[in-house]
Amino acid sequence: MLIVKTGFAQANDKTFKYGFVDQTGKEIVPCKYDGITAFENGFAVVQLKGKSGVVDKTGKEVIRCIYDEIINKQNWVIVSNKNVKTQFLIKSSDVLLTKKYDDAKTLSLEITAVKLNNKWGFIDVIGEEITPKYDEIIDFADRFAVVKLNGKFGIVDQIGKEVVPPIYDQVQNFKEGFAVVESNNKFGVISEEGKIVVPIKYDMDFYFKDNVSIVKQENKYGILDNDGKEIVPIKYDFMVLNDDLIQVKIGDKYGLIDKIGKEITPIKYDVIESFKDGIAVIKLDGKYGFIDKEGKEIVVPKYEKADDFKDGLGAVRIQVGK
């Protein structure tokens, strides 16, 4: 099959016309066009008398040859004329939908986002339109898209259904089945079913790891599971992940707990640094030592300074003389 670009120029001494045949030799698209391009997802661009159009695999001219330029993409066709804004026509299965949009972007195999009059909507897998009404579609991942409407954020699923209504100041897309939402500087968590599993009352963002997250409320810290259950009381002055343990602070002293609140070390140290090679530097009463992840002081605090373990050894310093 001879394929030429839509901008194909006829030879000076010969005239050619182009079409398409199927595997039986039947001429599906008649040889009447000045130029043709390969089919892309059911449609091909053709050119006649300097203008471009589109044909489908039955040979039907679904877009007449009236455009200066046509770009044929996987999920849509872009048509344009001079001094007229570019328009998008969406492909749905083997059908090219007739409604024209100002922009389009692929969200998934099932859904295409479309823009009309500065609002975004969706075309689903069977070609049905969810009316453009959103100001932005910000993020699409794992079957869900974050949308913005009137300055507020929500989430829609792969068929355009609102799972999280656009009523929040900020929304993070679903991750491992849960989305963090913010309203009036308070944070909560919503499930993929749209259920609020963590009330929107906490003072810091959530970061779930192994189905638990540190939370902050009224300047105190604790731990919730992803069902919203408080598994470590919100009583600590500070809390941060330290490898797979939780470093906690009460007053000016630090200790370690696990993710269900079991004490690994007493809250007595002046400093606990990050674990390296399973060992962390500690400081107690002005002296430095080391602990392991079981909370055992493998080197009691007796040095003037200590540095992280590397290749099985940790550097230490003592003072000699005055």
Q: What does the pLDDT look like over 54-73, one tens digit per residue?
A: 999 999 999 999 999 999 99
One-letter amino acid for residue 17 of the chain: K
pLDDT at 93: 79
235: closest CA among 252, 249, 255?
A: 249
pLDDT at 14: 67
> Is the pLDDT confidence value at 2 over 90?
no
pLDDT at 322: 63
Going by pLDDT thresholds of 50, 70 and 90, the confidence category of residue 150 is very high
Residues forming a β-bridge with 215: 222
> Is the pLDDT confidence value at 282 over 50?
yes
d(CA 129, CA 81): 26
At a CB cut-off of 8 Å and minimum separation 6, what does 72 contact? 37, 40, 43, 44, 45, 54
34: closest CA among 19, 44, 12, 24?
A: 19
Alpha-carbon distance values, 210 to 223, 259, 262 (Å) = 12, 9, 16
Mean pLDDT confidence for 158-173 = 91
Q: Which tokens belong to 113?
A: 């986002």
Going by pLDDT thresholds of 50, 70 and 90, the confidence category of residue 8 is very low
pLDDT in tens, 189-209: 998 998 998 899 999 777 777
Contact 306, 313 (CB under 8 A): no
d(CA 42, CA 44): 7
One-letter amino acid for residue 191 of the chain: S
> Of the given ranges (156-160, 207-211, 306-310, 317-321), which has the lowest mean pLDDT?
207-211
Mean pLDDT score of the chain: 90
The greatest distance separating any two alpha carbons of the chain, rounded to the nearest whole angstrom, comes to 102
d(CA 217, CA 131): 40
Q: Which tokens belong to 257?
A: 């707990």
Which residue ranges form the domains of the chain, and what is each CATH number? 1-91 (no CATH), 102-206 (2.40.128), 270-322 (no CATH)
- DSSP for residue 276: B
d(CA 287, CA 135): 58
pLDDT at 7: 44
Alpha-carbon distance values, 205 to 280, 284, 317 (Å) = 27, 32, 40
Mean pLDDT confidence for 120-133 = 88
Mean pLDDT confidence for 223-240 = 90
pLDDT at 27: 95
d(CA 94, CA 119): 26
> Is the pLDDT confidence value at 10 over 50?
no
133: closest CA among 164, 162, 168, 174?
A: 162
d(CA 263, CA 242): 14
pLDDT in tens, 167-181: 999 999 998 788 999
d(CA 290, CA 281): 5
* Rounded percentage of the chain residues whose pLDDT exceeds 70: 95
pLDDT at 190: 92
> Is the pLDDT confidence value at 3 over 60?
no
pLDDT at 13: 56
Mean pLDDT confidence for 283-295 = 95
* Rounded percentage of the chain residues whose pLDDT exceeds 90: 69
Q: Which tokens belong to 158?
A: 């792969």
Mean pLDDT confidence for 274-296 = 95
Residues forming a β-bridge with 198: 189
> Is the pLDDT confidence value at 232 over 50?
yes
> Is the pLDDT confidence value at 6 over 90?
no
> Is the pLDDT confidence value at 5 over 80?
no
Alpha-carbon distance values, 171 to 1, 114, 154, 157, 192 (Å) = 51, 21, 6, 14, 13
139 versus 283: the higher-pLDDT residue is: 283
Going by pLDDT thresholds of 50, 70 and 90, the confidence category of residue 90 is very high
